Chains A and B, each alone.
Chain A
Amino acid sequence: MSGATAPAAPPKPVPVGDERLANISLASRILRRPEIGALLAAVVVAIFFWTQSSLFLQLDGIANWTDVASTIGIPAVMVALLMIGGEFDLSAGVMTGTAGLTMGVLATEVGMNIWFAIVLTLIGATAIGFANGYMVMKTKLPSFIVTLATFFILQGANLGVTKVITDQVTVGGIDLAAGYSSANSIFGGSFGSHDFRITVLWWIAITLLATWVLTRTRTGNWIFGVGGDANAARNVGVPVERVKIGLFMATSFVCALTGIMIALRLASTQAGQGVGEEFQYIIAAVVGGCVLTGGFGSAIGAALGATIIGMAFIGIQFSGWNTDWRFLFLGVILLVAVLVNNYIRKRAEGARR
């Protein structure tokens, strides 16, 4: 799939006979989707880079920027759900490094089969997510603070533990572990004659799954509820703590999965991997229509936000612009995307929000 031309999710079905929604047109229902601005912004950015280099919209080029977008997009989708639920996870980026290192050490130093190492790593990451959520719930501290602590703890552990075990700052030679080729073909490899990354398929799958949970299940309603107004949600019987802790666990799980994908692909991880990436995830979610205060947003929007970041990153290379200015370009493109997004949403929503 090329993210740029992905169709927006079908609008929420209108319950038959509900007169409160009966007079709203299809067009304005589509325009009210949180991701519609991000979709238009993505199209604008894609066309812009296509005018700079025709390679940008050829399959070879698309394979490149969907590659970049997917490893941002997979965590970003889950980070978006967490944000909709009213919480942040600053440890999301460094978690990708922790997971890659854990799997690498288990596979190379302990000599474990790589599949076994993956399962243990995912269990460990989910436990860290639980600890994040549990502490936020018990201490009532902002998740910003709690997960910032986790961020530092993991960053320090990544360097310290890696050095103690390997005497280096990297874990290499993961490709020599038993089970590597099968694991890599599922998590790290590529497919087709244009070398599309397998992570792109995971990204699409996780986006669809998250969208389904968010829009079609009771859990999805709960997530919007706890993010919009936790007290009100609690009063109508939503298990607020369980929902939020679950979101933290799922976020850590998905970030760890991403870290595993990166480590398998590169056959090595370094101790600094992932530090700072959490902001890319949050930016992708916000570009995709998530509100920093919670209660509003979408998974597809976050995926589109990641698409825009990926397109900007590779587009700048294809255009042959002076890379001294890369982060300036990236910042401007993101700002434009957010402004387009905001403008469209405000126009579409009218006085509703």
Chain B
Amino acid sequence: MKRLATLAALALVVAACGSSSDDNAGDNASDDSSEDVQLTQGSDLTIAMVTHSDEGSFWSVVKKGAEQAAKDEGVKLVWSPSNNDPEKEAQLIDAAISQKVDGLAVSVPNPDAIKAALQKAKDANIPIITLNSGADQFKALGAITHVGQDEAIAGQAAGARFKDEGAKKVLCIIHEQGNVGLNQRCDGVKQGFGGDVQNLQVKGTADVATTQTEIKSKLQADKSFDAVIALNPDIANAAATAVKGASSEAKLATFDLNPDVTKRIKDGSIQFAVDQQQYLQGYLPIVFLKLFKTNANTVGGGQPVLTGPGFVDQSNVDTVEKLAGEGTR
């Protein structure tokens, strides 16, 4: 049942992506949220977004989405990134509670670490929405919904696409040790592909040169790989060079976008990118929190609101490239 609902939500999001731009799935009013919500005038609202952001290219797009939503909705935004430090993230949530914000949007890479801080927010009657990471935790944390990509579903979609294109053997490159989300993606690829998928642990983004050599050696040693998937744009760029260097015929795909990736999709050295549309992860929580405060709406019907996977390939790369240049994709 849960799976069905998730798939339905996925279908909805994919359809929305296909049709052109983002169509907010924001009208699923539910009746069970009428308890002690104090309706407020939208213009008085302050919403804090506390993330584990590293302020890199990915998160700058999230931030842009949040800022645009705050502007569109006429609310005040407090953007508090914590550079992957859970202690700082908890402290910033505490500070937001002291500021008496009207809504809290948080990313949850480490639920235990911010559980107590979020409980405090609940005690203070501040509604919470989780974003980016935390899809399987948002209910336990008392958030009204989660906005993000389900890693397993995104992996499955990528695997299924490789299968459709007739690939026989896939190499999935893991660029961080012990990152749960990356392993979920590769597991998803395996499920969606239904064939031979091997994982390759590489050194990672701190040393892309070595990573490139590692991928190249792997492809030289085993010529039977005809598909490669990277889980990060920087790694994808290195993998493209590695595929060429190994004189391999393997098709290449990646998760997430950057200018190198869009360029390579255009010249054909990358087939497609799985896009989690992180702009929505910044934009939607602001809209949802405003709707909750002013109209007692909740979105998602108890399920996460999925922002991906969308696909970027040669059919839509020109549009996306332009938007990426403007910092919204």
Q: Which residue numbers of A lie inside 8 Å of B, CB to CB?
A: 55, 60-61, 63-64, 67-68, 71, 159, 163, 167-170, 172-175, 195, 262, 265-268, 270-273, 313-314, 317-318, 320, 322-324, 326
B98 partner residues in chain A, CB cutoff 8 A: 55, 60-61, 63-64
Are the CB atoms of A68 and B91 closer together than 8 Å? yes
A selection of 28 A-B contacts at a CB cut-off of 8 Å is A60-B98, A64-B91, A64-B94, A64-B95, A68-B91, A163-B178, A167-B178, A168-B178, A169-B177, A172-B111, A195-B94, A265-B87, A265-B90, A266-B87, A266-B112, A266-B113, A266-B116, A268-B86, A270-B86, A270-B110, A273-B85, A313-B88, A314-B95, A317-B95, A318-B99, A320-B76, A323-B80, A324-B55
Query: Known interface pairs A64-B95, A266-B90. Does A159 touch B178 (Cβ–Cβ under 8 Å)?
Result: yes
Interface size on B, residues (CB 8 A): 31
Bound state CA distance, A169 and B55, in angstroms?
22
Least CB separation from B90: chain A residue: A266
Which residues of the partner chain A approach B114 to less than 8 Å between Cβ atoms? 266
A170 vs B87: C-alpha distance in the bound complex, in angstroms? 13
Question: Contact check: which of A172, A195, A262 meets B120 at CB < 8 Å?
Answer: A195
Asked whether A170 and B95 contact (CB < 8 A) given A195-B120, A273-B87, the answer is no
Chain A residues near B96: list those with CB within 8 A: 317
Binding site for A on B (CB under 8 A): 55, 76, 78-81, 84-88, 90-92, 94-96, 98-99, 110-116, 120, 177-180
- List chain A residues, Cβ under 8 A from B99: 55, 317-318
Q: How far is the CA of A63 from the CA of B120 in the complex (A)?
A: 14
User: Quick check: B94 and A267 within 8 Å, CB to CB?
Assistant: no
13 additional A-B pairs beyond A68-B91, A268-B110, A273-B86, beta carbons within 8 Å, are A64-B94, A64-B98, A159-B177, A169-B178, A169-B179, A170-B110, A172-B111, A267-B116, A268-B112, A270-B110, A313-B88, A314-B91, A317-B78
Evaluate whether A268 and B113 lie within 8 angstroms (CB atoms) in the complex, with A64-B98, A163-B177, A323-B79 already known. Answer: yes
Q: Which residues of B contact A195 (CB under 8 A)?
A: 94, 120
With A270-B86, A323-B81: A67-B112 Cβ-Cβ less than 8 Å: no
Whether B116 and A265, one on each chain, are in contact in the complex, defined by CB atoms closer than 8 angstroms, is yes
How far does the alpha carbon of A55 sit from the alpha carbon of B110 in the complex, in Å?
Answer: 29
Question: Which residue of chain B lies nearest to A166 when distances are taken between CB atoms in the complex?
Answer: B178
